[in-house]
Every structure is written in C-alpha cells, then in structure tokens.
Amino acid sequence: MFLSIINGPNLNLLGKRCPEIYGSATFEDTLAEIRKDFNDYRIEYFQSNCEGELIDAIQRDGFNPDCLGIVINPGAYAHYSIAIADAIEAAPAPVIEVHISNIHAREEFRHKSVTARAARGVVAGCGRDGYALALLHLIRTANSNQNA
C-alpha cells in the first residue's frame, strides 16, 4: 500500500519562487520530513509542469488498488483545468487537494478552484503542513473503512 503526492506547475521552484509566500525550503526538504513522519507508509512523489503528465499520474495512481489516496497540489491548474478535475473525479482512490498558501486571501482569480469540486477535501493556507494533514486524513479514512 502507498500514498501518492502529486505536485503541479512551478512547485519544483519551492525555495526559490516567492519565498515570502511559500517559504525557503525545497519540496525535497518537505518530502523528507513527510517520509520520516509517515515512515509506516510508502510515499510516492511526482511533479510536473505539464497538464497531461499530471493527468497520467492521477490515472496511474488513482486506479492502482494499492494506492490509499492521492494528495495533489495542482498549482495554477486548480483555477482552470477541467481535464485535471475530470481525472480526479474518475479515479477511485480518494484525492485531497492542497494549497500551501490561503488561495482565498490572494488574488481574486485564485479564489476559485475548479479541481476542488472533484476532490474529497481541500486543505489551504496551512503551509507545507497541509500535505501532512491531507495524508493523515487519507490514512484515517482508509483505516476506518477497513474497520467498518
């Protein structure tokens, strides 16, 4: 069993791009912490700046019966990618959308996420802790479903 983290465009620039918003650590730093904190689980990670590659990753992991769930930060695609929303909606694995910043406190175009309608939940504005919160929710949901 594994959990998947999928990051969209420009998230490869964490630590370099807008550190006043996103912090100065790289996502690799964050991923190392996550893997340490969730060491009982295999955490798969994928990042792409290309919409089609993100859809392929959602389909690959979302239809894999060994995937407990997906945490996705679609980046700017959250605001206009119906294709990513459709991929999330089609996947049997639960998906939690994460945004490092509070998208509702930023520019107006960021206030609406078209991909969020397909996700089971959304975590925004909790910084990089949002990834761990989303993973924790997926694990607890999977465990409660197994015990039901």
Contact 114, 79 (CB under 8 A): yes
pLDDT in tens, 72-93: 999 999 999 999 999 999 999 9
The predicted model gives 36-64 an average pLDDT of: 98
Distances (CA, A) of 15 to 29, 57, 113, 126: 10, 24, 24, 17
- State whether residue 31 is helix, strand or coil: helix
The answer to whether residue 104 is catalytic is no
In the prediction, which pLDDT does 106 show? 60
Beta bridge partners of 44: 4
Q: Is 22 a known active-site residue?
A: yes
Residue 23 — very low, low, confident or very high, per pLDDT cuts 50/70/90?
confident
pLDDT digits (tens, 9 = 90+) for 45-54: 999 999 999 9
Q: Which is catalytic among the residues 22, 45, 79, 111?
A: 22
pLDDT at position 105 is 55
Question: Which residue is it, tokens 């998208």?
Answer: 103
Q: Which listed residue (99, 111, 131, 137) is catalytic? A: 99
Q: How far is CA 23 from CA 28, 98, 106, in A?
A: 13, 16, 16
